[in-house]
Structure formats: structure tokens, C-alpha cells
Amino acid sequence: MLSLSRITATLFATFALSTGAAHAAPIEVTASFSILGDMVREVGGDRVNVQTLVGPDEDTHGFQPRPSDSRRIGSAQLVVANGLGFDDWMIRLARSGGYTRPVVIASTGIDTLAKGAGDHDHDHDHDHGTGEGIDPHAWQDVGNALRYVNNIAAALIDADPAGADEYRANAERYSGQLKALDAEIHKALGSLPRERRKVVTSHAAFGYFAHAYNVEFLSPVGVSNNAEPTAKGVAQLIRQLRKEKVAAIFVENISDPRLSERISAESGAVMGGMLYSDALSTTAGPAPTYIAMMRHNLHTLMAALTSAPPAR
Ligand SMILES: [Zn+2]
């Protein structure tokens, strides 16, 4: 016998179907990492349900998919990856999980930079998988994020044509916010004298930021999130820091802070705080969205670079 609540649920379901697209089930989207997931949510709005495989404060480079990730990706209607060798495992996982549509590569069409292009040291070894020699951290230039948004909107329209107007409107609104953010970063960093625009980070993730906003990032030779720096590399970096009068050293949310702390102690350059490179913070942290992340990084950089004395 059907219970009253069951009948009511059935009636509601029928009603929802008859009222059309606005009440349709959301499109299931799986994105590789948190920054991309946020962009898809902005463009997709209520029409999408977004899951990310690599969560806040987690490292995408060394990510090991679990069997449950394969099942999750197999039931997705749209799979979005960064590309450029950053998340190749996502493309393999989509295939093995039974996803049959093309994987959307959000970075398609950007002007790529070589690894280390925005970095002072050109021979560091930062392994990002198969993206031979290309720096994958393209989202660190807000100009590139605009391209990501266009690619995501086109993919959503393709997967869900009934939502085209909504996706276009969301993309336009979000792009407006991104353009304002880009201008804000240019203006703030542009106000610093040239010799103040030098910082140290622990993994070489800011090449696009450096290139777009004219800031120089140095990182320890041979350092990636999976490698121990050599004593020689650290000593060389400290000499360079002093010579170039670098003002501040920053840690990243996905990296071990101990190396940065050691370099700071030995060089006298101050610890400038935490930058978010490859992952958002949780909602309780200062960088729960892409826009909040870029703004947090800007404010953290500005606070240190406008006040810190250079390395001695
Ligand atoms: Zn990285």
C-alpha cells in the first residue's frame, strides 16, 4: 500500500517534470581540482552539480585516484580537467571509469609558458607529468581564467543546450568580476617599485602570475612538492636572495612550510604568509573561491612587499 508521503512525492515529481527545464535534474559535472570546480559552479549555477576529485588544500600533482573516484567519474555527464600535463590522471580515469564524452580541457587556447619562464632560475626540476616543459599553472593569470570560463560555458551549452541562455549570462557576469580582479591586481602590484617585486615561494607555481603582473618569483633549485631540496640548492638560493635583496618568503597551502622557514631564518627575509597556488582553502579559510584566492594572494604579497626590509 502506498503511504500518503509517497503519493505526495510522486505528485511533486510529476509536477516538476511538467514545469520544464528550470526544474530538471542538475547536470552532474566532475572537475579535477578545487579551483576548476569553483569556476564550473560560477558558470553552471543551479543547473549543475559539481564534484571535485582533489579537494581544498590538496595537491593535484601527486594525486592518487581511489576506486571510488573511478565510479564517481563514470556517472558524470561532463568531465573538466585543466590540461597542460597538470591532471593527466583525470583523463585516464575518465576513460577507465566509463565516461564516453570528450574530457573538457579548460586551458584550451591560452598562450602557454615554459616551466620556469616567470621564474629566475631556469633549471629547476618540477615534475608535472606529461606536459613536457609546459607550466600548467595557467589559472594564476586572471586573463587566462577568462579563457577557462569561455571553454567551460561552451562545454556546458553543448551538454545542456536548454540552459544556454543561463550559462551565457552567468559566464558574462563572472567574466566581469574577473576583469575587475585582473585590473585590481595590475594596479596594486604596479604601484610597487621594481626592486620590491621579488619574492620566494616553495614550488614554482607562479610563472603565469609573474609573467602577467610583473613580479619575480624565485624558488629553491630542484624543489617540487615531491622532492627534497639539495643543500647546495638551498645555499645558492640564499646567496641569490641576499644579492637581489628579496623582501619576503611565502609558504603555500599545499607545501611543507619547513623549507621556507629555514630559508627565512638563514637569509633574514621575512616570512610573508601563505599563498594559494594549486588549491583553494576550505570554506572556513581565506581562499574558498578562485576570486577570493587571487585577492588573498594579492593582499598577502602587498602587505609583505610594502613593509618588509630586504634580505641581509
Ligand atoms: Zn603546482
Residue where a domain stops, chosen among 148, 179, 210: 179
Instruction: Let me know whether 21 and 64 are in one domain.
Output: yes
Distance between Cα 56 and ligand 1 center (Å): 14
- What distance in Å separates the CA atoms of residue 124 and residue 308, rounded to the nearest whole number? 27
Distance between Cα 235 and ligand 1 center (Å): 23
- Tell me the pLDDT tens digit for each residue of 209-241: 999 999 998 876 444 455 666 777 778 888 888
In a domain, 43, yes or no: yes
In a domain, 247, yes or no: yes
Compute and round to an integer the Cα radius of gyration of the chain: 22
Distance between Cα 32 and ligand 1 center (Å): 14
Instruction: Let me know whether 263 and 150 are in one domain.
Output: no
Residue whose C-alpha cell is 516538476: 16
Residue % of the chain over a pLDDT of 90:
59
Instruction: Let me know whether 174 and 215 are in one domain.
Output: no
Instruction: Let me know whether 254 and 200 are in one domain.
Output: yes
Distance between Cα 88 and ligand 1 center (Å): 13
Instruction: Let me know whether 31 and 151 are in one domain.
Output: yes
- Tell me the pLDDT tens digit for each residue of 246-305: 888 888 888 778 888 888 888 888 889 999 999 999 999 999 999 999 999 999 999 998
Residue 19 pLDDT > 70 = no
Report the pLDDT value the prediction gives residue 40, as an integer from 0 to 100. 98
HEC profile for the chain? CCCHHHHHHHHHHHHHHHCCHHHCCCEEEEEEEHHHHHHHHHHHHHHEEEEEEECCCCCCCCCCCCHHHHHHHHCCCEEEECCCCCCHHHHHHHHHCCCCCCCEECCCCCCCCECCCCECCCCCCCCCCCCCCECCCHHHCHHHHHHHHHHHHHHHHHHCHHHHHHHHHHHHHHHHHHHHHHHHHHHHHHCCCHHHCEEECCCCCCHHHHHHHCCEEECCCCCCCCCCCCHHHHHHHHHHHHHCCCCEEEEECCCCCHHHHHHHHHHCCEEEEEECCCCCCCCCCCCCCHHHHHHHHHHHHHHHHHHCCCCC
> Which set of grid coordinates corresponds to residue 252?
603555500
Distance between Cα 84 and ligand 1 center (Å): 11
Instruction: Let me know whether 33 and 161 are in one domain.
Output: yes
Report the pLDDT value the prediction gives residue 165, as an integer from 0 to 100. 98
Backbone angles phi, psi at 280, to 5 degrees: -75, 170
Q: What mean pLDDT, rounded, does the chain reach?
A: 85
Report the pLDDT value the prediction gives residue 116, as an integer from 0 to 100. 72
Instruction: Let me know whether 97 and 143 are in one domain.
Output: yes
In a domain, 89, yes or no: yes
pLDDT band at 14 (very low <50, low <70, confident <90, very high): very low
In a domain, 120, yes or no: no
For residue 84, give the nearest of 58, 113, 49, 62 by alpha carbon.
Answer: 113
- Tell me the pLDDT tens digit for each residue of 59-99: 998 899 998 899 889 889 999 999 999 999 999 999 999 99
In a domain, 77, yes or no: yes
Instruction: Let me know whether 169 and 204 are in one domain.
Output: no
CATH number reported for the structural domain that contains residue 145 in this entry: 3.40.50.1980
Residue where a domain stops, chosen among 155, 179, 203: 179
Distance between Cα 180 and ligand 1 center (Å): 25
Instruction: Let me know whether 43 and 173 are in one domain.
Output: yes
pTM: 0.85
In a domain, 128, yes or no: no
Q: What is the DSSP letter of 282?
A: P
In a domain, 129, yes or no: no
pLDDT band at 112 (very low <50, low <70, confident <90, very high): very high
Report the pLDDT value the prediction gives residue 307, as an integer from 0 to 100. 80
Instruction: Let me know whether 24 and 70 are in one domain.
Output: yes
Instruction: Let me know whether 102 and 35 are in one domain.
Output: yes
pLDDT band at 308 (very low <50, low <70, confident <90, very high): low
How many folded domains does the chain comprise? 2
Report the pLDDT value the prediction gives residue 139, as an integer from 0 to 100. 98
Distance between Cα 135 and ligand 1 center (Å): 9
Residue % of the chain over a pLDDT of 70:
83
Question: Residue 159 is part of which domain span?
Answer: 4-113+139-179
166-186 mean pLDDT: 98
Instruction: Let me know whether 161 and 14 are in one domain.
Output: yes
- Tell me the pLDDT tens digit for each residue of 273-290: 999 999 999 999 999 999
- Tell me the pLDDT tens digit for each residue of 121-141: 433 344 444 456 899 999 999
In a domain, 123, yes or no: no
Residue where a domain stops, chosen among 147, 179, 211: 179
Q: Please give the helix or strand (H or E) that residue 217 lies within, else none.
A: strand 216-218
